[in-house]
Structure 1
Amino acid sequence: KEITSLVTLIMGLVNDEIPKSKLPERSPKFLAVSKGEQFLHTNNCLGCHKLDGDGGAIWASTEDWLREVADETNAEDRSLVQSFSPPLLDTQGRKTQPQWLLNWFKNISMVRPHLQVRMPSFNFTDKEWNNLISYFQHKDDLNLAYENPHDFKLKSSSYKAGERIAEMGACNNCHFYGDEKPKQTALTWAPNLVLSKDRLRTDWLQEFFSNPQDVMPGTKMPAPYIPTEEPT
């Protein structure tokens, strides 16, 4: 017994200092992600939102509401529940223009006009909001402070082709366009397209249009119709 105790003592005589090789690299990405995760946890952001499949406790309330206003089938439709719930935070760094996001955090405004529930305003400093934006970006391997607006000309063939594709794809069946309501019922309604230019990043939009389900699993957005020949 005494020998065992002595061996235990000797084996326990280790250097208290952890070798640097065993510590995580304190890179800008590591620090940004660590701060962001702490912010999300401290402020219970995942009580409403989902990220990497976690969180979204409020979704159960959305299901109950859909049962009440629609029916059981709609309550079990995950894409429908998702469209009436707080947005997913996945790909937020790739998706959203950082300057727009900062302005929106400081002055919460409507993105989905058909929803009466709004994200509450929080009295956080610009530094705290920017730390959260930095978290979203570093999580998506980006580090952007500002991006130039997408350059376009109203009379260009590219713009006119885009108008034609939007018309052929009937985007206004589901999406708001300014004050103009979608043509279909409220269960299909989607975000206001007028905000897209300032709100969304061009690279993310191109990725999203190519495969909406891959970028935002569960979205109601179908893969848009893209003609093989240039629209006229």
Structure 2
Amino acid sequence: SLRLSDGEAKSISAYLISLSGSAKRAAPAKLDDAAAFKRGGKLVRERGCQGCHAIPGMETTSKIGPDLTRFSIKEEFELSFGNVVNVKETWDDWTFGKLKNPKIYQTKREKLLMPNFDLSDSEVRSLRTLLRGMGGHGPPHSVHYEFDERAGKIEAGRRMIEKYNCQGCHVIENWGGDLLRRYKEKNNGPPILNGEGRKVQPGWFYGFLKNVVLLRPWLKVRMPSFDMPPKDVAALVDYFAALDGKLRPYVHFDATRVKAESVAAGRVLFNKAECFSCHGEWPPPQGKEPPSAPDLSFAKNRLRPDWIADWISNPQKIVPGTKMPIFFEGAGAKAKVLSGKRTGKDEDRWIYALTAASEAELAEEKAATLRIGGKSIIVIVAEIDEKTIKVSSPENLGPRFGRAEITSHGEPVDEELLGGDGLRQIEALRNFLMTGSNFKAAESPKKGGEG
């Protein structure tokens, strides 16, 4: 269901009817011709139309095709090759010929009814393999692929993706999105679902698929309501989670351990970055622009906490071309360190020179995390000269150390807030989103007394 109003449904119907053009209508059938009715019924039964189509009055009519249960164990002498001489008398060759051209073995005495499905050679071979595996003597165990938990969930989910044609609208596993390709501005089309399992919480996702809610009110395209059975919904949720290695079926964010200072800082950053100017109310108040980004009131139940932090750090890395701006320039930039040595001390901070494996692109005079073995130390990047990175730390790391990795916290939104540490500010914004609900109330009053 696309949840259309009566007017919308009538408009779509009128449009579809208009596509027929000026083609002549077919002559009406003579519904009162009893003889024609009888001949038609006979023809339908002979051709087995009721095997695929639901036809009133033929619900109990038997199908015209033979039972295939024992087909895989038929001997060559049980197969009729008709007058054909250029097909080897083997089960494999007979079956290939029959599927490729069902009338190939027809003779004057033996009329064959199976229709030609215009199968490719690859499709014929796949069907032949399926038929060979029927009858209780399938292929040997050695050729069976044993799915582990993750692979099994991915395989089951792909069947659901095909069943509901999800890739007709969305790009999933970098494939599909036929409808999305019609949009010049990709942000106005169906969202790309690469990385969806890493992004959303499974409980919320399950509820969304059962009862679709409006997330992106600016979109004209709509997500249908499929009325899926619970097992199909669960298979889809597990599929996206398994694709991104998120097999744990729950997400926990302990709001009681979040410091009030962090939430308050997040509120300040939310206002300073003017998040509500895009993530606004729907429907918009009179005189206000409609929102152009998702409703953040869903964030704490919809999004995974770690994904929120990664998204705020560098949205372009997750979704190239997104309208979401980068507020913490350089956050997450890394450099491999081959070695480090202590070069002196400046008041209460030790100075180190790090030799990087390649030229580093880290934010200077900003915080970074230096990881040595299993230990993480917060440092300040003082200066970068090609492959040499000078950092300072209150911690004495010794005269020399070996391989390490340094990750920039990026440019902060506020130079004073939380010590000007970009990473702490990213975490504060995440904490605010995961604990807040009324984001309009977080807006700072406008100048001139406007609320």
1:120-131 alignment, distance < 5 Å = 120-131=224-235
What TM-score do the two structures reach when normalised by structure 2? 0.40
User: Does the CA-based 8 Å contact 2:217-2:282 persist in structure 1?
Assistant: no
- CA distance in structure 1 between the aligned counterparts of 2:201 and 2:165, rounded to whole angstroms: 24
1:142 maps to what in 2? 246
Asked if residue 218 in structure 1 is aligned to residue 317 in structure 2, the reply is no
Assess if the C-alpha contact under 8 Å between 1:150 and 1:197 holds in 2: no
User: Alpha-carbon deviation of 1:147?
Assistant: 2.2
Query: Does the Cα contact within 8 Å between 1:94 and 1:137 map onto a contact in 2?
Result: yes
Distance 1:178 1:165, change over 3 A: farther
- Structure 2 residue 93 is matched with structure 1 residue 93: no
Q: Which has the higher contact order (CA 8 A, sep 6+)?
A: 1
1:109 aligns with 2:230: no
1:135 to 1:154, Cα distance in 2 relative to 1, 3 A: closer
Counterpart of 1:68 in structure 2 is none
Alpha-carbon distance in 2 for matches of 1:131, 1:196? 23
Task: Identify the structure with the greater helix proportion.
Answer: 1
Following superposition, the deviation at residue 157 of structure 1 comes to: 0.8
Note closer, same or farther for the CA distance 1:89–1:159 as it changes in structure 2 (3 Å cut).
same
Rounded Cα–Cα distance in structure 2 between residues aligned with 1:121 and 1:128: 13
Q: Once the two structures are superposed, what CA deviation does each residue of 1:60-93 show, in whole Å capped at 9, x if it has no partner?
A: 4333xxxxxxxxxxxxxxxxx2221111111111
Deviations 1:169-226 (A, max 9, x none): 1112211246556x9866x811111111111110111111111111122211111243
Specify which of 154, 161, 175 is matched with residue 40 of structure 1. 161
Matches within 5 A, 1:52-91: 52-63=173-184, 81-91=185-195
Q: Of Structure 1 and Structure 2, which has the larger fraction of its residues in strand?
A: 2
TM superposition score normalised by structure 1:
0.75
Structure 2 residue 145 is the aligned partner of structure 1 residue 19: no
What secondary structure is seen at the aligned counterpart in 1 of 2:140? coil
State whether residues 189 and 219 of structure 2, in contact with CA within 8 Å, keep that contact through their aligned partners in structure 1.
no
Match of 1:195 among 293, 298, 316: 298
Distance 1:17 1:155, change over 3 A: closer
Structure 2 distance, partners of 1:179, 1:159, is: 27
2:272 matches 1:168: yes
Distance 1:193 1:178, change over 3 A: farther
> What's the RMSD between the two structures over aligned residues?
2.7
Q: Residue 3 of structure 1 corresponds to which residue in structure 2? A: none
Residue 28 of structure 1 deviates from its aligned partner by: 0.7
Is contact 1:83-1:190 (8 Å) kept? no
Query: 1:29 maps to what in 2?
Result: 150
- Partners in 2 of 1:154 and 1:36 — Cα distance? 36
User: Matched residue pairs, number?
Assistant: 196
Please give the per-residue CA displacement for 1:114-154, whole angstroms capped at 9, x wherever unaligned. Answer: 22432111121111101111010111011132223451589
Measure the CA separation in 2 of the matches of 1:142 and 1:155.
27
Unpaired stretches in structure 1, ≥5 consecutive residues: 1-15, 64-80
Q: Which of the residues 204, 209, 214 maps onto 2:312? A: 209
TM superposition shift of 1:231: 5.3
Q: Secondary structure at the match of 2:246?
A: coil
Deviation at 1:158, TM superposition (A): 0.6
Is the 1:49–1:56 Cα contact (8 Å) retained in structure 2? Answer: yes
The range that moved more, 109-118 or 196-205, is 109-118
The 4+ residue runs of structure 1 with deviation greater than 6 A are: none
Which one-letter code corresponds to 2:167 in the other structure?
L
Distance 1:49 1:126 in 2: 22
Distance in 2 separating the partners of 1:224 and 1:24: 47
Decide which structure has the larger Cα Rg and report it. Answer: 2
Answer yes or no: is the 8 Å Cα contact 2:204–2:301 preserved in 1.
yes
- Please give the alpha-carbon distance, in whole angstroms, between the structure 2 residues aligned to 1:53 and 1:38: 17
Q: CA deviation at 1:56?
A: 1.2
CA positional deviation for 1:155: 8.1
1:20-66 superposed Cα distances (whole Å, 9 cap, x missing partner): 6xx54410111101111121122211110012332111124333xxx
Within a 5 Å distance, the mapping from 1:221-232 to structure 2 comes to 221-225=324-328, 226-227=412-413, 228-230=415-417
Q: 1:62 to 1:185 in 2, by over 3 A?
A: farther
Other structure's SS at 1:138 match: helix
Partner of 1:72: none
